[in-house]
Amino acid sequence: MPILRAPVNEIFMSLQGEGLYAGQQQVFVRFAGCNLRCNYCDTPGSLALAENQVFLSVEQIIELARKKAKGSLKGVTVSLTGGEPTLYPEFLAQLLKELKRNKAVVYLETNATLPEFFKPLVKYIGVIAADIKLPSACGATLWKEHKQFLSLGKLKAFVKIVLTDNTKPAEISKAVEIIASVSKDMPLVLVPASAHGKIKSVKSEDIYAFVALARKKLKYVNFLPQMHKLWGIQ
């Protein structure tokens, strides 16, 4: 069997800065390459493969992750992020099996748009942080893909939605409808985009409206900024 390799930009230890697990120490494995181009993206270096892109094997990732975790991955949460990790399903399947063998907890950060790639991986993942991508942000309508994805991972998933000053109430309403159709118990975290370039964060008066709109159909809705940026860490 040939040794599979995947494009990886960095592996580092830090605190999770977004969503339900903000503040949890994790080892981050950041893959390169993404199938979307969201206008608020704060990791543009991971969107496409670089000319001198580094490709790592499963064994190399495990070894580097162990070093960041000071020797053992037992009980350590490993965040697979990007870019979009599920672009590499065959590689990810091997990596997930090896992480399980090392007794690590897998935390998948994903744009939740590739259900066909995701389906065989669900059983190996502990936590799924699924970003619903609004049309105003990514220029595409992905409701069908999001619903299929959430249906596959509903027992392990929570949803994040990034808000900008261009976010429309109708988009939030549609996203909430999809989440509720899968499970009204699925947590939703609304995240204000970090202002940069032409991107401006959500207006303060809209925050309350979006939270109230979501709480009409979902049991758990929270509004939380990107904490790692406030903390000044990676």
List all residues 6 or more positions away from 132 whose beta carbon is below 8 Å from its beta carbon.
Answer: 112, 146, 159, 160, 161, 175, 178, 179
Task: Please check the confidence at residue 2 and state whether its pLDDT lies above 80.
Answer: no
Report the CATH number of the 5-231 domain: 3.20.20.70
Mean per-residue pLDDT, 120-138: 96
Estimate to the nearest angstrom the gap between the alpha carbon of 138 and the chain centroid: 15
Mean per-residue pLDDT, 164-176: 97
Residue 116 is predicted with a pLDDT of 96
Residue 43 is predicted with a pLDDT of 87
Task: Please check the confidence at residue 3 and state whether its pLDDT lies above 90.
Answer: no
Task: Please check the confidence at residue 232 and state whether its pLDDT lies above 90.
Answer: no
DSSP state letters, 37-84: --TT-S-GGGSS--TT--EEEHHHHHHHHHHHTTT--TT-EEEEESS-
Estimate to the nearest angstrom the gap between the alpha carbon of 69 and the chain centroid: 21
> pLDDT over 70 for what percent of the chain?
99
Residue 1 is predicted with a pLDDT of 55
User: Which one is predicted more confidently, 11 or 3?
Assistant: 11
Strand pairing category for 105-110 and 77-81: parallel
Query: What is this structure's pTM?
Result: 0.95
Mean per-residue pLDDT, 41-67: 94
Residue 39 is predicted with a pLDDT of 92
Residue 126 is predicted with a pLDDT of 97
Q: Domain extents for the chain?
A: 5-231
